[in-house]
Structure 1
Amino acid sequence: MPRDDLPFDPPMGLQALGLTAAEDAAYELVVDRPPSTVSQLAADWDRAEKLQPVLDGLEKLGLVRRSMLKAPTYAAVSPDIAIDTLLLDSEQQLHRARQYSDQLAGIYREQVARAGPGSVIEIVTGNRPIRQRLLQIRRSARSEVCYLAGPPDVDLGDGPSAGTFASGVSYRTIYDSAYVEQPEALADIEQLIQTGRQSRVLPKLPLKLYLCDGRLAVLPLQREPGTTPAIIIVHPSTLLDALGNLFEGLWQRALPLDLAGAGARTPENRSSVDDQRVIALLLSGLTDEAIARQLAVSYRTAQRRIASLIDRLGVHTRFQAGVRAALRDSPPTDH
């Protein structure tokens, strides 16, 4: 019977290393018993598969050993030895697969270059194919991902809740102010900034765009939600270069959402953290009502905070307050 006190998810177990679900369950069973015969183990075997062939498979993998007795018993090989061996084999196979993948990618790029203009643009339609293709692209990122979070309001799979990002990959995002105005958007963006993601904002973005390592660009084909889902994938070309230059130009014009320095909100630093958030929202061009919603305060409270910030910075307009504060470490606090 499977144990309930194992620290991993039983449905997965060692299947990530190539074991079948039956082999996984049988190894767990043997580990939890002293050397036992097949009939003794079978008393607690509740799967449809026959136990003997499964044990034979585990023996070939080096996970169990069989005694030479007339009635053979099965005992587990120490997991820290047996599983480490499987892990090493898997790592070597993954390394060889990565080398092979790199070779195929080189051949593919050469083929695309020879194929002519028709291979520059790839159109993917339908929700499931789009999700699959976007997942492939995100997982293939090696150095940098650049993202324009602009219109139209369609999902490119790289919003604040897109999941865990690849290790060692840098991320730069420019947000449209309308994006920042969405409920809880600032809190999500702040969390991403604290993980090292660079974020900036502009009052208006021309499009939604996803750039991966400067070798692929993804943008939505449809203008409005509700139409047939479709994306355009742009391969290496002058068009891809132009999209990359567009992002860099917008990045230079965009103002930073500098929330990383604020840290967690505590009674001791509440005033400075709130100022940082107000500054970010001012730079985003949000209205007082929208700022109040993001800060979870009343409209009058938001107005008072904005007026206090403008007064302390010695400026006359909301935009001047945001720009001046962005160019300084932090505004002076009230005492």
Structure 2
Amino acid sequence: MFDVMDPGSDHGAVYQDLVRNPGARPEELAGRTGRGRAVVRAVLEELAAEDMVVAADPATGSWEAQSPTTVVEVLMHRNQLRDAALRRTGAELQRLFRDARSEAGRHDWLEIVEGRQRFITAVKHMHRSSRRQVRIIDVPPYYGSPEDNVELEALQMARMAAGVTYRTLYYESAFDDPIAAPVMVREIEAGEKARTLPDLPIKLLIRDDDFVIVPLPGEEFPDLVALLVRPSRLLQALSGVFETLWRFGVPASVNRSGTHLDDRDRQILNLMASGATDEAIARRLEVGRRTVVRRVSALQERLGATTRFQAGVQAARRGWL
């Protein structure tokens, strides 16, 4: 799945160049983006298939970008399809987990943990032994005792202080959860990178790139059963599921009052979404360019976006446009 929000990708570079340079030909796009002509032509065909660009003049070979607002709608539809696919993926993983449980003794990359206390002990070990990053999909139920949860929070704080990066995906209503919300806010304030999604198919924790623990959902087991996965295709698949979800998550902010948007910022966001430059926005709103640059930067920070296009997508998801 390509990502036109990422200016470093082939598709993102070509689309965003077309936003700035309407009517461009493939050779011009190739020259400005540093991609080969064959790559640019393939990218244009793929973008056209997704209704993100259109051939403007077959005689000259020129192309036009669809407006970012239109592309946002395309992305929203694609997200709905993605959510359905992820639900199917979750069901398939559940089947795989059940099958793997019966074969756990046959594979050195797979281990079954039974019982809540053994599960919590394994999770604590993963925090303590992390060296680079920990990735978490955090959804109920929570299996630890209050004492366990206090210790787990302290472990995460200590590992972040030691330089370990934490990225956590929370379910969308986590801020309203009286148990999860206070911990979530403290961890974000301490440096955790957090995003939210309305529908998360599994609960997991990935240590660095070499260890995953996944509790098995459902009522078919008398006690908690979790799967420990070491380097394998299954670990790669679970890591890929996390990264796909992370890409589409909405950055979580502990400043809940920050959802208010004044009329000037709303105007700036709408002009950004239409592809207007800072200079064009300044002329339209009759303000200085530096003012626009400063407010665009602040809006991107609030939205957790690294590019103007990402800011438009995130703003649309939050209903700001």
Identify the TM-score tier after normalising by the shorter chain. 0.3 to 0.5
- TM-score when normalising by structure 2: 0.44
Higher relative contact order (CA 8 A, sep 6+): 2
* TM-score, normalised via structure 1 length: 0.42
As a proportion of its length, which structure holds more helix? 2
